[in-house]
């Protein structure tokens, strides 16, 4: 089945393509490079559905989207849905990570608990909608480690690991990551729906 991937993040596309092999995922830029995807909501689910609905409306094709982010407990769950723009609209991973480290400096290591959260959404042209959620608990390290991954990965050590997400190869990471869990759950739900 063909579906438009409602994101311009090539890292996410690479991961989701591995997690949903039953789909041929078409990059949004290949279909509508000018389409703007808004994330105005306060929950990952609302944002994921908003992006998928926007793409379905514009293209008349099924769409797959996700919204995900990092929740740091001592920051009251921030950056949360603002993870990609924590340091402001258009901010880079480097800028977001620098702000995260700045806000956490001086906080005891045992309080640096966090989780990655992801909601995956599938929307059809007749507006059937399926969502699934995944989370991955972990802790923050202030010194970045690793070059694999993107976003906050160099600063997040997942539960039961000594490596950061940026030190873990993609295929291994997808077995337990928030995105891996969300899209495997979505795949199971879609199998049950058919």
Which residue matches tokens 């609209």? 89
Which one of 34, 66, 67, 153 is the catalytic residue?
67
* 131 close to 117: Cβ distance less than 8 angstroms: no
The neighbouring-strand residues paired with 157 are 139
Q: Is 153 helix (H, G, I), strand (E, B) or coil?
A: helix
Note the residue count of the chain.
194
Helix axes 178-193, 10-19, angle to 10 degrees: 50
Task: Return phi, psi of residue 81, to 5°.
Answer: -65, -10
Is 67 a residue of the active site? yes
Q: Is 90 helix (H, G, I), strand (E, B) or coil?
A: coil
The neighbouring-strand residues paired with 145 are none
* 14 close to 170: Cβ distance less than 8 angstroms: yes
Burial code (b: 16+ CB inside 10 Å, e: under 16) for 19-35 equals bbeebebbebeeeeeeb
Mind telling me the catalytic residues? 67
């Amino acid at each position: 089945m063909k579906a438009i991937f409602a994101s311009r993040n090539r890292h996410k596309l690479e991961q989701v393509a591995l997690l949903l092999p039953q789909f041929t995922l078409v990059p949004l830029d290949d279909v509508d490079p000018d389409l703007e995807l808004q994330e105005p909501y306060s929950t990952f689910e609302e944002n994921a559905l908003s992006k998928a609905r926007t793409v379905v409306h514009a293209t008349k094709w099924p769409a797959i989207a996700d919204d995900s982010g990092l929740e740091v407990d001592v920051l009251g769950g921030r950056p949360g849905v603002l993870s990609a723009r924590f340091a402001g609209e258009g901010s880079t991973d480097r800028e977001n990570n620098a702000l995260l480290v700045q806000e956490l400096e001086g906080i005891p290591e045992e309080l640096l608990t966090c989780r990655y959260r992801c909601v995956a959404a599938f929307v059809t042209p007749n507006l059937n909608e399926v969502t699934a959620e995944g989370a991955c608990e972990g802790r923050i390290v202030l010194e970045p480690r690793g070059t694999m991954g993107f976003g906050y990965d160099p600063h997040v050590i997942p539960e039961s690991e000594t490596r950061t997400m940026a030190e873990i190869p993609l295929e291994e990471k997808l077995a337990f990551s928030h995105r891996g869990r969300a899209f495997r759950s979505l795949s199971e739900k879609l199998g049950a729906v058919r």
